[in-house]
Amino acid sequence: MSVDPKNRAMPSLNHAQQRNLHNACRHMDGLLKDIEIALDTRKTNSVFPKYIHDVCPEEQKTIELFLARFRAQLMAVLAAQSIEVEPPRITSSHAIHTSLTFIEIAIEELSPKRMGGYGPLSIAGASDLEHIMADLMAAAQELHGYVLNHRTPEQSPASSDIKVIHERRSRRRENKAL
C-alpha cells in the first residue's frame, strides 16, 4: 500500500537523497530549457545556429503545454519531499560580463603568435589577424564597457578586479606592439 505524498507530514527521503532529487530535477529543467531553445530557433541571431526549425506552430504549442505540465510535475515532486527550489544567485549582467570576458580571451587567442602554432603565418596573414583582433576586440569592449557602466554598485564585480584585468590586457597589447 502506497502513501499519498500529499498527506505525508515528513519527507520520506534523507538529506543526501533530497539533494540528489533536487539536482536531478534541476538537470531535467535544464534539458527542458534546451527543448524550448530548439523549439524556437528564431529567438537567436546566431551566426552558427544549432538547429533547423522544423516544428509547425501547432506542434510547438502542444510541446510547450507538455513542457509546462512536466515542470509543474517537477515542482510537485519537490514540494512533496519538502525540497525548496533555490532562487537564482547569478545576475544576468554578471553572466553577460563573464561571457564577454571569455569572448575577449578567445579574441586574444587569435593573435599571430598563437595562430602560428597551427602552421607558418605569412606577413599578410599576420596583418589580417591583427586587424580581425582589433575589430572584434573593439566591438566586444564596447559592449563590455556598456554592461559594466550600466550596472548598479551591488551588481558590479569588484571594480578593482575589472581594472586589473583590463590593465593587464592593455599592457599585453602594448608589449605586442613593441
Q: Taking the CA of residue 6 as centre, how many other CA atoms within 13 Å lie in the half-sphere pointing to its CB?
A: 2
CA separation for the pair 34, 137 (Å, rounded): 30
Say which range, 79-83, 100-104, 126-130, 170-174, has the weakest mean pLDDT.
170-174
CA separation for the pair 91, 143 (Å, rounded): 17
CA separation for the pair 170, 79 (Å, rounded): 51
Indicate the SS3 state at residue 98.
helix
| Single pTM value for the model | 0.69
pLDDT level of residue 160 (50, 70, 90 thresholds): very low
Residue 85 lies in a domain: no
Residue 111 lies in a domain: yes
Task: Tell me: do 49 and 105 sit in the same domain.
Answer: no
Residue 121 lies in a domain: yes
Residue 87 lies in a domain: no
Residue 132 lies in a domain: yes
- Higher-pLDDT residue of 43 and 118 is 118
Number of domains comprising the chain? 2
Kindly state the average pLDDT of the residues 24-52: 88
Structural domain for 116, as ranges: 92-177
Task: Tell me: do 107 and 67 sit in the same domain.
Answer: no
Residue 20 lies in a domain: yes
